[in-house]
Chain A
Amino acid sequence: MAAPRGEVPDDDHLMLYVPAGRLAHDVDLDTYVLTSAAFELREDDDGGLSTTWVEHYGPRSIATYGKAASAFRASLPTKRIGAKAIFAIGNAGSARRACASYGKNIRVVPAPEGPNTGHVEIRRFSDDDQRLLDMLANDVFKEHVKVAVLELT
């Protein structure tokens, strides 16, 4: 499936900020599960799920993640992100296919937001189907980067 014109290409990647509270930590094992709650639309999400386009800031690498995270942080009213938070990274094409499998024909649309020129909204997305949110959390946005290891500017 080729991405529609003007949208984030299938081969590119999206970073989703996940606050520590959305991560279910195993008490004894010091591991965590990314829960479906990370993909719930929040009150501030006006029009779609808010993510950041990785390749807008450069080729995929830890340094690029740092640039994208910095831009995301700069766009927040508080200018703060949690040290124990993570960014979950997923492929745009995989996200489209996952949503389509649950009947949602999403649009992955660049929507610059202040300093975050790589801000992307996942539109025509709704968070009513737990199975889709779980699929996104566990099968699509599988790569995780801890805020603590990123070089933020």
Chain B
Amino acid sequence: MNVLTYPGSRLTRSNASLMSGAATISIPSALGTRSSGTSDERVVPQPETLELRLFNALAGAKIWTAQVARHLDRAARDRYFHQLDVLHDPDEWFGTDKPVSLESYKGFIRFMLMLGGNSKPALALSPRGTLLAVWRAQDARLTIEFLTSARVRWLVAQPVGEEVERTAGDAGLDRLLALLKPYSPEKWFGST
């Protein structure tokens, strides 16, 4: 059981462009509370322990996923959540490393939505909190690091004769599939 018995930070994300204007009747929601014109209710921020920091990062990613959940295969969503949980085990946390950045996670999910199909990348976390996804096939490896929700670093490592040829770059997320075309990405992604 994951129990945090001390005050936590706000776990909500507000849709600022929608929740404007006065409202006399409010029902709090995980995705955003409604505020009236002259009165506002907020969760009081508290100092964060490591466990709370990790919990908040995970909760933020999972809550955000609701925005796109109907576009995601349920098994894939569950798998991503499990992978995130494993990466954020407090017993394995090291030093001043950062938990997953929400912007990086959004980039990963957006890429998987663009890709379609059912590929299952392995996931890792950089010390800066960016998510890395790794696909392997026939000794060729593709690593994509999601720097933000719209920008990636990518690397292809594949055998050419007895050597390993490495090509790397950074690009906008919307350009990535085009940049990967010369490397026959279907070997990693399957048919999409």
Chain B residues within 8 Å of chain A by Cβ, number: 36
Scan B144-186; emit 1 where CB is below 8 A from any A CB, else 0.
0100000001010100000010111000000000000000000
Q: How far is the CA of A24 from the CA of B153 in the complex (A)?
A: 16
Docked complex Cα distance between A14 and B125 (Å): 23
A42 contacts across to B, CB distance below 8 A:
95-97, 127
The answer to whether B94 touches A19 (Cβ under 8 A) is yes
B92 and A19 contact, CB distance less than 8 A: yes
Within 8 A of A (CB), among B93-110: 93-97
B132 touches A85 (CB 8 A): no
Question: What interface size band does chain A fall in?
Answer: 20 to 34
Interchain CB contact under 8 A, B89 and A84 = yes
Interface string of B22-63 (1 = CB under 8 A from A): 000000000000000000000000000000000000000000
Q: How far is the CB of A26 from chain B (nearest CB, A)?
A: 5
- Is B92 a contact of A135 with CB atoms below 8 Å? no
Tell me, yes or no, whether A12 is within 8 Å of chain B by CB. Answer: no
* Bound complex: CA A37 to CA B97 (Å): 11
Most buried by A among B86, B88, B94, B143: B94
Give the distance to chain A from B82, nearest Cβ to Cβ, in Å. 8
Other than the known A27-B120, A32-B122, A138-B157, what 5 A-B pairs have Cβ atoms closer than 8 Å? A21-B88, A25-B86, A85-B94, A130-B168, A134-B168
14 A-B interface contacts by CB (under 8 A): A17-B94, A19-B94, A20-B86, A21-B92, A21-B93, A24-B124, A24-B134, A27-B122, A36-B155, A37-B125, A37-B132, A44-B95, A85-B94, A131-B167
